[in-house]
Amino acid sequence: MMTTKKTTATTRKKASPKKTTTVTAKPKVIVQKVPDLPPNPFVFEVLDAASKMRSKAKKIEVLQRYSHNSLKAVFIWNFDETVISLLPQGEVPYGSNLEDETQSGSLTGKINDSVNKMAEMGSNSLGSQDQGKASIRKEFQKFYNFIKGGNDSLTSLRRETMFINILTGLHPREAEILILIKDKKLTDRYKIDKEIVSEAYPDITWGGRS
């Protein structure tokens, strides 16, 4: 009698690959803090701080924290369509014919050069040259002389001379702001629009100024 041996095949189970779990890192939320500016800051310092904020709410917070009538006067001249400048548009010349003859370029160009130099140095000071330079805080009450209905008795020459004298006495970055707002071009330099200003300062009434 023949005996048939059964052969049992052993099948090894293949190890299944381990599942990998991918953890998606949550993006870090960077909360911008409103900077602490020095007491009685320059207008350009407040505008810089607000402009650098990414959110509308933070821009408004900066403007409200450092609220001042000089800042509101800057915004009104720039954004209110009924505020009509009586100064010539474009670059501002030097103060006298003699200066115009002896210096090349314009006062606007000189101010821009100073501002650019500050940017290159990473500082808002040109050292001893800036000592005693005024801020818009001290000069904004003279703005009425340069807009329609403010002081129409001034001759054009007298008005332009006054404006030039103010510019030469201001910190270069403050002077830059005046040159911008006389042509309503503040947004060329700063990321602040009329809507933001209106929410920051609801007490400003727009229109009816000329």
Q: Which residues of the chain have pLDDT under 70?
A: 1-27, 29, 94-104, 123, 125-132
pLDDT at residue 97, as a whole number = 45
For residue 22, count CB atoms less than 10 angstroms from its CB and return exposed for 0-12, middle for 13-18, buried for 19 or more.
exposed
**Residue 176 CA from chain centroid, whole number:** 11
Look up residue 101 and give its two tokens: 């003859």
Strand, helix or coil at 134?
Answer: strand
* pLDDT at 61 (0 to 100): 97
Cβ–Cβ under 8 Å, residues 172 and 118: yes
What's the pLDDT score for residue 120?
Answer: 74
Is 178 exposed, middle or buried (CB count within 10 Å of its CB: 0-12, 13-18, 19+)? buried
Distance CA 203, CA 199 (A): 9
Predicted local distance difference test score (pLDDT) of residue 98: 40
Question: What is the structure's pLDDT at 117?
Answer: 79
Q: Give the global pTM.
A: 0.77
For the beta carbon of residue 170, count every other beta carbon within 10 angstroms. Answer: 23
166 burial type by CB count under 10 A (0-12 exposed, 13-18 middle, 19+ buried): buried
pLDDT of residue 102: 45
Domain boundaries, the chain: 43-200
Q: Return the pLDDT at 112.
A: 75
Tokens coding 118: 């500050």
Q: Which two tokens stand for residue 28?
A: 């870090």
Structure confidence at residue 42 (pLDDT): 95
Question: What pLDDT score was predicted for residue 170?
Answer: 94
Q: Are 197 and 63 spatial neighbours (Cβ–Cβ below 8 Å)?
A: yes
